[in-house]
Amino acid sequence: MSEQTLPGGIMGKILRVDLTRGTITTEELTSEVVEMWVGGVGLGAKILYDEVPPGVEWDDPENRLIIAAGPLAGTKVHGAGTYCAVVKGPMTNLAGSTQANGFFGAYLKQCGYDAVVVQGQGATWQYLWISDQGCELRDASHIMGLDCWDADEKLHAELGYKERMMSFIGIGPAGENLVKFAVISGDKGHVAAHNGVGAVMGSKRLKAICVPRGKQKVPVVHPERLAEYAEPLFEHAYEFRDRWLARGGTAVGLSDMERMGALPVLNYTTNVYPEHEQMNGLTFRENFDGRHTPCWGCRMNHLHTGSMTCGEEAGYVGEEPEYEGFSAMGPQIGITDQSVAFKLANLTDRIGVDVNEIGWLIGWAIECFEKGVFTLEDTDGLELRWGNGKAVEELLWRIGRREGKLGDLLAEGVMRASHKVGGEAADWAIYVKKGASPRGHDHRGRWTEMLDTCVGNTSTIEATAGADPTDYLDIEPVKDRFDPLDVSTFVAKINGRRQFDDSLGVCRFDSQDLQLELHCFNAITGFEYTPQDALRKGRQIVHLLRAFNFRHGLTVDVEEPSERYFEPPTDGAALGTDPRSHWPTMKQNYYRQMGWDEATGKPLPETLRELDLEWLVKDFWPEEAAVGAR
């Protein structure tokens, strides 16, 4: 493919926004870049690596906020409205990559752009308007202080767009106040959640980005092949796991997590949650009065908006939470009324904080209060007890606004807050020593995800997901989830599969079969990827992100769980296992299987060369690179 011809699925333009100068420019996207980095996380990682050198901190105007779609976004592939946000984030001060569904990725493409790159810092608060008729920065003073849903509704009304005809992504009070785990929330409930992307957006004084549905068509090289495979890809995803997503959303698996000892309960002080069935997705659907509010081109029957018909918060209107919302605002903090968890999970999206981090944070704060570390004076009168939903609701707002001594402390995230408090309370906090917290599972019952969370390069899981299919790849599934060699070998071998997915601009839930996904990808782009090509492309992205992180100070001593995170469980289905004693074996074997130095975690020069990434050798082995250059 020549450099003059772009692959299908690509609009060919990057929108560049410099808030310091108040300028908006357009940059051509070359076929060379697309062929190497595809889109989404791949394109975002390349821009971050090239433009954010060591010494640029997360809140530096020279940090980049990169919002990138992928070649499938805006096409006839179901659920292809996804975008990826890539930044240097405040939780780890390293790379962060996080995806959100909804409409933004599709509408951005239909307005002619593959990505938006924001730098600088505005003198005043603004929002960015993008359309196929032009783009501009506009005053945001009238939407400051509004939560994400209210700001979304206000701009829809002001700009004259019906719901779903314009996509809004933006920050709530948490992002405005630089809460370190602030998110970018859009289209009412679709959240790019990890590594404080919302804080980066807030540091630039950018409240929101709005893009209406455009009229430009995403180019497809083989439209007849896409028509042949797009529907089977969706049908496979719909039928996947006995239609689990359509039957009850991601929370349908909450009871399964409890039964395998992988549900977080009372800040890891127990693995047992007898009320799990009244908090799962099937129960929610039985007690919910709402309408299906799908993402771009999706018929999954996954997300709904409305209110619960029973419980303390019956009548509160919100969006059906994902599993993480119910696990964080339910068992992790002692809530057993699903309507209360429903409201609290929705408030996290409105205020604009990561529901995973806030769950670990509030669970830790409650444990501190229950054990006398925090007093009523410290909490400004809040009774932080297990199950006290009203106190948690008030605390959420205080954290989002950095109100009071405790609100300001907790706005730093659980690792930094626990370090500041010190003493034995520091050992009760759950986090990775890089700075961010895990997703909403008790990883003592899910070792693959514990390892992935600690050694990944995105600030969250990198290689694994709720389902880890090995379809069409020469990889053995995990046979024993508590075998350190089995677990670590699998995580290493599968790494790259998910990073390829996150380059495409499609929801993972709509794309569960790699071969069918590739049929669509090849039809759109004109490429001829095999499953092995997809895995290799993902591994190139993994190593680019690791190079960025090492340049910005990553050391392997922080690729470790906190004390509470991997202490042996005292009850439940994982009782009798001990991830802590096996951790050195898991970590060392993972490094070895990845082709990395076992002591330093640095990719070996031969590993980088095999991936056609020899130019990254200098980031890990400067002396060898210097010798090779002579």
Question: DSSP per residue over 380-449, as a string?
Answer: TT----TT-HHHHHHHHHHHHHT-HHHHHHHTT-HHHHHHHH-GGGGGG---BTTSPPP-SS-GGG-HHH
pLDDT tens figures, 540-583 = 999 999 999 999 999 999 999 999 999 999 999 999 999 999 99
Q: Are residues 94 and 159 in the same domain?
A: yes
Relative orientation angle of helices 531-551 and 514-525, to the nearest 10 degrees: 80
Residue 467 has pLDDT above 80, yes or no: no
Amino acid at 421: V
Residue 627 burial (10 A CB sphere; 0-12, 13-18, 19+): exposed
pLDDT tens figures, 288-317 = 999 999 999 999 999 999 999 999 999 999
Q: Are residues 412 and 450 in the same domain?
A: no
Range of the domain at 86: 13-212
Residue 157 has pLDDT above 90, yes or no: yes
Of 30-44, 94-108, 257-271, 453-467, where does mean pLDDT reach its minimum? 453-467
Relative orientation angle of helices 355-370 and 414-421, to the nearest 10 degrees: 20
- Which pLDDT score is estimated for 1? 38
DSSP per-residue codes, 378-397: TTTT----TT-HHHHHHHHH
| Average pLDDT in the chain | 96
Given a contact cutoff of 8 angstroms between Cβ atoms, the answer to whether 459 and 86 are in contact is no
The residue among 403, 419, 435 that closes a domain is 419
Residue 626 has pLDDT above 90, yes or no: no
Q: Residue 489: CB partners within 8 Å, gap ≥ 6?
A: 476, 589, 590, 593
Q: Are residues 275 and 204 in the same domain?
A: no
CATH number at residue 341: 1.10.569.10
The answer to whether position 263 is within a domain reads: yes
Residue 3 has pLDDT above 60, yes or no: no
Tokens of 434: 């890089």
Give the distance from CA 507 to its chain's centroid.
Answer: 12
Number of domains in the chain: 3
Closest Cα partner for 237 from 507, 449, 477, 463? 507
The residue among 380, 403, 419 that closes a domain is 419
- Which pLDDT score is estimated for 471? 81
Q: Are residues 515 and 613 in the same domain?
A: yes
State percent of the chain over pLDDT 90: 96
Closest Cα partner for 409 from 355, 461, 373, 370? 373
Closest Cα partner for 397 from 173, 186, 620, 547? 173
Q: Are residues 349 and 498 in the same domain?
A: no
Q: Are residues 350 and 452 in the same domain?
A: no
- Which pLDDT score is estimated for 623? 82
Q: Are strands 13-18 and 115-119 parallel, antiparallel or unpaired?
A: parallel
β-sheet bridge partners, residue 118? 17, 65
pLDDT tens figures, 518-548 = 999 999 999 999 999 999 999 999 999 999 9
SS (H, E, C) 462-530: CCCCCCCCCCCCCCCCCCCCCCHHHHHHHHHHHCCHHHHHCCCCCCHHHCCCHHHHHHHHHHHHCCCCC
Closest Cα partner for 126 from 116, 140, 113? 140
pLDDT tens figures, 198-219 = 999 999 999 999 999 999 999 9
Tokens of 474: 């020469």
- Which pLDDT score is estimated for 624? 77
Q: Are residues 299 and 203 in the same domain?
A: no
Q: What is d(CA 359, CA 365) in angstroms, rounded to the nearest whole number?
A: 10
The phi, psi pair for 28, rounded to 5°, reads -75, 140
Residues composing the chain: 630
**E-only strand ranges, 243-380:** 288-292, 304-308, 317-319
pLDDT tens figures, 184-194 = 999 998 999 99
Given a contact cutoff of 8 angstroms between Cβ atoms, the answer to whether 195 and 456 are in contact is no
Q: What is the mean pLDDT of residues 415-444?
A: 98
Q: Are residues 287 and 384 in the same domain?
A: yes
Residue 2 has pLDDT above 90, yes or no: no
User: The dihedral of CA 291, 294, 300, 304: what is its sign?
Assistant: negative
Residue 299 burial (10 A CB sphere; 0-12, 13-18, 19+): middle
- Which pLDDT score is estimated for 468? 75
The answer to whether position 32 is within a domain reads: yes
The answer to whether position 414 is within a domain reads: yes
CATH number at residue 56: 3.60.9.10
What is the residue whose two structure tokens read 């992928």?
70
Q: Are residues 182 and 48 in the same domain?
A: yes
pTM of the model: 0.97
Q: Residue 275: CB partners within 8 Å, gap ≥ 6?
A: 331, 336
The answer to whether position 222 is within a domain reads: no
The answer to whether position 437 is within a domain reads: no
Given a contact cutoff of 8 angstroms between Cβ atoms, the answer to whether 88 and 56 are in contact is yes
Q: What is d(CA 32, CA 409) in angstroms, rounded to the nearest whole number?
A: 46
Q: Are residues 473 and 335 in the same domain?
A: no
- For residues 530, 531, 532, 534, the Cα torsion angle rounded to the nearest 10 degrees is 90
Q: Are residues 359 and 464 in the same domain?
A: no
Q: Are strands 206-212 and 166-170 parallel, antiparallel or unpaired?
A: antiparallel
Model confidence band, residue 625 (pLDDT cutoffs 50, 70, 90):
low
The answer to whether position 46 is within a domain reads: yes
User: The dihedral of CA 541, 543, 546, 552: what is its sign?
Assistant: negative
Q: What is the mean pLDDT of residues 451-479?
A: 92
Closest Cα partner for 205 from 19, 451, 41? 19
The answer to whether position 8 is within a domain reads: no
Radius of gyration of the chain (CA): 23
The H or E element containing residue 96 is: strand 95-100
Task: Report the 10 Å Cβ neighbour count for 567.
Answer: 16
The answer to whether position 430 is within a domain reads: no
Q: Are residues 271 and 185 in the same domain?
A: no
